[in-house]
């Protein structure tokens, strides 16, 4: 099994550009999460989903959007990228008792 797959691994954006971070899991997990981690800091919850068609905001949702059309996919959309969105983004999935993480996307907005 691949587990949780995130793409791309690295990306540089210019201020004002948009992009989508992809996340796919093959474990049939209902719960999926997006976190951002700034250098030397902890993980902040951006958005989460408890199943296809259901999403909700976490601690730091401003500037981001998500969708969950299938159980497997949970893309994160950045509209009008800003330097404050420079971070490492992790997607995770779970069946409640253990989170499995993707390898992360390092995003720089210049």
Contact residues for another protein, defined by CB under 8 A: 31, 33, 35, 41-43, 45, 48, 50, 56, 58-59, 90, 92, 94, 97-104
Q: Closest CB to another protein among 19 and 60?
A: 60
Terminal CA-to-CA distance of the chain, rounded, Å? 36
Residues 6 or more apart whose CB falls under 8 angstroms from that of 75 comprise: 20, 21, 22, 23, 66, 67
Query: Closest separation between CB of residue 74 and another protein, Å?
Result: 14
Query: Closest separation between CB of residue 78 and another protein, Å?
Result: 20
Query: Closest separation between CB of residue 97 and another protein, Å?
Result: 6
Torsion of CA 38, 42, 103, 89, to 10 degrees: -40
Q: Closest CB to another protein among 82 and 99?
A: 99
- In the block, which residue shows the tokens 């983004």? 89
Q: Closest CB to another protein among 74 and 90?
A: 90
Q: Closest CB to another protein among 14 and 39?
A: 39
Do 79 and 65 form a contact (C-beta atoms < 8 A)?
yes
Q: Is 84 helix (H, G, I), strand (E, B) or coil?
A: helix
């Amino acid at each position: 099994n691949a587990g949780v797959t995130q793409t791309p691994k690295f990306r540089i954006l210019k201020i004002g550009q948009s992009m989508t971070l992809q996340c796919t899991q093959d474990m049939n997990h209902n719960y999926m999460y997006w976190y951002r981690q700034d250098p030397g800091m902890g993980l902040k919850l951006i958005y989460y989903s408890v199943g296809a068609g259901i999403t909700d905001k976490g601690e730091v949702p401003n500037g981001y959007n998500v969708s969950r059309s299938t159980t497997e996919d949970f893309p994160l959309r950045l509209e009008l990228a800003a330097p404050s969105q420079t971070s490492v983004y992790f997607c995770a999935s779970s069946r409640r008792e253990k989170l499995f993480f993707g390898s992360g996307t390092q995003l720089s907005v210049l």
